[in-house]
Structure formats: C-alpha cells, structure tokens
Structure 1
Amino acid sequence: MILSRWVSFTPVARSSSESDELFRRHSEFRGRLSSTCRLRSGPCCLKSKSSQDEELESVAGLSILGSEIPWEEKKTWSTMAFYMFCLHIPLSFGGLSMVSGILHQRHLEPQTQVLSLVLVQMVELSGTVFLLRNTAKPQCKSINFLKGNDNDNNNNNNDSNEGRYWVVGSALGLACIVGFVFLTSLVADQLFGSKAVHNSELEKIMASGEVSRSGCFALYCLVAPILEEIVYRRFLLSSLASRMEWKKALVISSGVFAASHMSGEDLVQLFGIGCVLGACYSWSGNLASSVLVHSLYNALTLLLADSV
C-alpha cells in the first residue's frame, strides 16, 4: 500500500513533445470546463433574479403605503388631538349653534341649515389643510394629499403601484361597504328588533327644495368625504402605517374614525366602513379611491332618503 502510493506520485520523465501535447490537452479541457460552468451558471442567475422579484412582490402585499411621511411621527397624536378639540368638535357639532347665534334665530330653516353646514364644513376643511401643512416637516410643506407614498426613492412601492387600478378597487370597496351595511342591519334587526332607518331630519331637508337637495349632495358627497379622507386616511393611517404593520394601523385609524362620529348605535358599521375605506387607500396608494367610495356611498344614502 505504501509502495503503490509512492509509485503513483513518482514523476515520470517525458520528452518535450509529450509535455507540449499534455499541456495543450490540459488547456483545452480547462477551456471546455470553464465554458460549461458559464452555461450552467446562467440559469442560476436568472432564477435568482426571478426569486428576488417574487420576494419583493410578496413584501409589498396588499398595502403600498410608503414608510416616509410628511409629518413627524412623534407629533401624530398631538396633531390629531388639536384637530379633534379645536376644529372637528367645535365646528361639526357646534357649528349650527354658532350660526343660530349669529343670525339670532333659534330654529334655522332647512335651506339655511344645509347651507350653513356646507359653509362650516368648508371652514373645517380649510383649517385642516392649514394645520397639516404647518405641522409638516420643513422640506414637505407642499404636500400632495392624494398621494399615499411620500418616499420618491422607494422603487419597490412605486413598482407595486403599477397595474393597481384604483377605480377597480373603488368599485370593489363600494360593493363591500353596501354588503357589510346590509348584513349588519339584518343582524341588528334580528337581535334588537326592526326600526325605522330613515333620518326624518335629512328627509325634511331634502324635500324642502332644489337648493337644499343640492346643498346636501355638495355636503355629503364632496366636502365631507374629502375632509374625512384627508384626516383619517391620508394623515392618520399613513402616519401609523409608517411605524407599524399596516393592518394594525388600519384598525386604529378606523376606530378613531368611528368614534369621531359620536354615534353609539352606528359604531360597528362606521368601523367597518372605515376599514374598507382604509383598505382601498392602502391598496391603491391613491386617496381618490377612498374619496370616491365614500362619496358614492353617501350619494346612495341620499338617494334612498330622497325616494321616500
């Protein structure tokens, strides 16, 4: 055994021509081997790139909201509190009382009431835009309120936005809201008994004339949806989703949205509606999607009230 090992490694004397021939064959073999390795490595590289793309798509998931927002993360709740106590509650719940005091009328006529609500909501919308612009980072004063991804360098989210048609998402969102409200209404009727779902005050305003009817559509289908989507989706949901999982941010922002209406009997439905609106915004990255769904649902409600 030891002898055979030594014999196998003992150099054998060869002529120069034999050495040249061996060197030539060795070079050809190495060339073939390297070309074979290159051919085999090609598909591996392609597979790796494809796997990387699939991984990026899976990371994007349902939400494409960016991690960069125009506002400081630590000021999210302080800004929200300022909006609630200085703009939303005084104007949305006390606006008509202020108008009554200014006009010295204890009871406002339906036409005056709806026009006053439109004016009050426009003041609240203007104040909200002013607040959010002035609390933004110095480099983000010119905020695009329709955009959900503020990180221009985030190519993954920008690529994920391609092919996501927000109109299609809006149609699905509206169908989900209508179905959800219908089912929850049936369950509520079974548990607590059926009751009239019509808003007599709203029906009275809608029936008072064309001006009042037009004012209601302007209020509930234009001003209010834009205001609420800017506050609860563009600001609150985007701010929360930048530092936590987007599903948790969706639940929290929808809870605040439902609570802000201060309607205990409609709390569950408002929460569900907020979740659907937030999902539309998160999926499309476009605030126009949730604004459209919000507007169409309110328009459907007004049409039902007007048909009674």
Structure 2
Amino acid sequence: MAHHPLIPSHNQSDAIMCAIPSFHVCNFHDFHQSRSSQALRLFAFFLSRNFSALETNTPWDSSDIWSTLAGYIFALHIPLSFGGVSFVAQTLKSSPDPFTMVASIIVLQMIEFLGAMVLLNYTAKTEYHISSFFIEKLFSEKRSSIKASATGVVFLIGSMLLTSIIVNNLIEPKVWEALSKRNEGGGRSLRDGTPSREPHEPPDVSNPIMKEMIFDSPLSKTATAFLLCFTTPLLEETIYRGFLLTCLAKEMKWWEAIIISASVFSIAHFSIENSLQLSLVGTILGSVYCWSGNLAAPFVVHSVYNAAILLLTYMS
C-alpha cells in the first residue's frame, strides 16, 4: 500500500512522539535553570559587596574601633545603665516610684548618649565633625529608607513571632517535661518546695518592672513610651550601627560586620536568657542599615519593635 506523503509513517510517528516529551522536558529544564540562575544571582547579590550602601571612609581609624567601644562600655554604659538607678535610689534614700524610675532612666540614657558623642568625637579623625557625620547618616537617601524600614519591621516582627512559637511549643515544653521528671515532689521545686510551673504552661513573658511603669499613671506610661521608642533606639543605633557597624564594614565583608556588631549588641545587654533574641534583632537592624545606608531606617524599626513589646506587655 502506498504511503501518503502527508501522513507520517509508523517510524516517523514514533520519532514525533519521542520528540514531543523531550521538547517539554527541555523547556521545563530551561525554565528550571532560569529560575535557579535568578535565585543564585539574587543570593550572590545579597552576599556581594553591592548589597551594602555604607561608605568605606569613616571618621575612625581601624586601630581605634575596639578601644573606643571599650571606653564606651566600661566608662559610660555599665556605670550609667546598671548603676544609675541604684545611685538615684541612694540619693532619694528610698525606692523611687515608677515615674521617677523611668524619668531617671531617660536622663541617664541621655547623659550616656551625650557622653558617647563626646567620646566618639575625641577618638575621630580631626578632619571629621561627628555631628555632621551622623546627621548625614540620618538623612542619607542612597536607597529607600521607607522600603528598608518596612521590610525590617516585617522581618523583625515575623521572626520574633516564629521564634516565640518554636520556643513555646517545641523547646520549652520538653524542658519543663524533663524538669518535672527529675522533680520528685510532683510539681514542686527541688530547692524550696514551692510550686513550679506545670509542663506546657505558657511562660509569663511580661516584664513586671515595665508593667509597673506603664500602669502607674498616664504620665509614667507616656514617659515609658518615650524611653523605649525614642531614647533607647537613639542611643543604641548610634553606637552599635552608626559607629560599630560602619567601622567594621570597612574592615571586612558586610555580613561578617553585621554578625559581629549584632553579637556585641547582644552581649552589651548582659542578658543571657535573651541573648539569641537580641542577636537576631541586631542582625536585622544591621541588615536594614547596611542596605539603606540610612541610620534613620534601623531607628524606625527599633522603635516599632520596642512599641510592639510595650503593647504586648500592656495587654498581658
């Protein structure tokens, strides 16, 4: 029987049928490679030097970075942050009321901030004016500070919620279950016989001192909000991002500088139980600052984060 030229033969049909799936596989493979290459390029950009918008010129020499930081920690931060309230109590010869306490902390942090600015100005190169340097950092528009702030807030709040869920539902119940098995008193602490928290019971995340300050009076509540949302972010962002991270980014890769500055930020709080959380906060704030080159961006993120903590404490 003659074969019609427009109808494929059996061998041609097999070839076509074999070619069709290979064509789709080839397209899918190319598409997959394209998406993978885009992801790799994005990841490479994230790890590249181009991610950071920080300048390489800083007011401080490399040899002065750690000595300046040590001077701030031991001469200003520890005496004022950890001994200042005790000094106020001794001066008043009584335990300060909540408003007096929060007002004292605000004054102490402002003194610490001014002292830090004097120290940074003293250790800076003579051709730099520190006030002009930080003002320029606050209003730098190399990249969108609004986009950086919004992204930082989303990442910070999201990561905090995620870590809280992991700790409360996975890690902490196992810890309390292990402790209860070792506890021969059946829910009593081994040391003094007082009731301990039952396994799987959610932790009390509220800060009793903070709750006392925000529930004392409207004036105390306002002062606490000012402390957490302005004074503290201003001081910490100036030191740990504006000074330390800026200097470290000149000496090493930007992501290494972020990790080191975040670790120092965590250690400076002298809080072992919150060290991982503080390191995560410092990492996100450092990333926001590195990408934007704008010190106002991490300040906004820090303020919003502290406001969220204040709100959660108020609602708890």
Q: How many Å apart are 1:147 and its aligned residue?
A: 3.9
Identify the residue that residue 260 of structure 2 maps to in structure 1.
252
Larger radius of gyration: 1
Query: How many Å separate the matches in 2 of 1:110 and 1:289?
Result: 31
Q: 2:172 aligned to 167, 180, 192, which one?
A: 192
Q: Is the alpha carbon distance of 1:81 and 1:58 closer, same or farther for their aligned partners in structure 2, counting shifts above 3 Å?
A: closer
Q: 1:265 aligned to 273, 292, 306, which one?
A: 273
TM-score, scaled to structure 1: 0.75
Identify the residue that residue 123 of structure 1 maps to in structure 2.
111
Q: How many Å apart are 1:130 and its aligned residue?
A: 1.1
Query: How many Å separate the matches in 1 of 2:280 and 2:297?
Result: 17
Q: How many Å apart are 1:148 and its aligned residue?
A: 4.7
**Alpha carbons 1:148, 1:282 under 8 Å: kept:** no
**Alpha carbons 1:206, 1:216 under 8 Å: kept:** yes
Amino acid at match of 2:308: L
Identify the residue that residue 54 of structure 2 maps to in structure 1.
65
Q: Which stretches in structure 2 are left out of the alignment for 5+ residues? A: 1-44, 174-201
Identify the residue that residue 38 of structure 1 maps to in structure 2.
none
Query: How many Å separate the matches in 2 of 1:264 and 1:59?
Result: 33
**SS of match in other structure, 2:101:** helix
Query: How many Å separate the matches in 1 of 2:278 and 2:99?
Result: 27
Q: How many Å apart are 1:141 and its aligned residue?
A: 2.6
Identify the residue that residue 110 of structure 1 maps to in structure 2.
98
| 1:150-229 equivalence runs, <5 A | 162=142, 164-189=143-168, 190-193=170-173, 194-229=202-237
Query: How many Å separate the matches in 1 of 2:262 and 2:136?
Result: 19
Query: How many Å separate the matches in 1 of 2:283 and 2:71?
Result: 23
**Alpha carbons 1:147, 1:285 under 8 Å: kept:** no
Query: How many Å separate the matches in 2 of 1:111 and 1:72?
Result: 42
Amino acid at match of 1:232: Y
Identify the residue that residue 35 of structure 1 maps to in structure 2.
none
Give the RMSD, CA atoms, in angstroms: 2.0
Q: How many Å apart are 1:57 and its aligned residue?
A: 12
TM-score, scaled to structure 2: 0.73
Runs ≥4 in structure 1, deviation > 6 angstroms? 56-59
Q: How many Å apart are 1:192 and its aligned residue?
A: 1.7
Query: How many Å separate the matches in 2 of 1:267 and 1:176?
Result: 18
| 1:273-288 equivalence runs, <5 A | 273-288=281-296
Matched, 1:81 2:70: yes
Q: How many Å apart are 1:202 and its aligned residue?
A: 0.8
Matched, 1:240 2:248: yes
Aligned length: 241
Query: How many Å separate the matches in 2 of 1:135 and 1:69?
Result: 12
Identify the residue that residue 144 of structure 1 maps to in structure 2.
133
**Identity fraction in percent:** 38
Query: How many Å separate the matches in 1 of 2:241 and 2:47?
Result: 23
Amino acid at match of 1:276: I
Matched, 1:99 2:88: yes
Amino acid at match of 1:280: V
Q: How many Å apart are 1:290 and its aligned residue?
A: 0.4
**SS of match in other structure, 1:66:** coil
Query: How many Å separate the matches in 2 of 1:258 and 1:57?
Result: 24
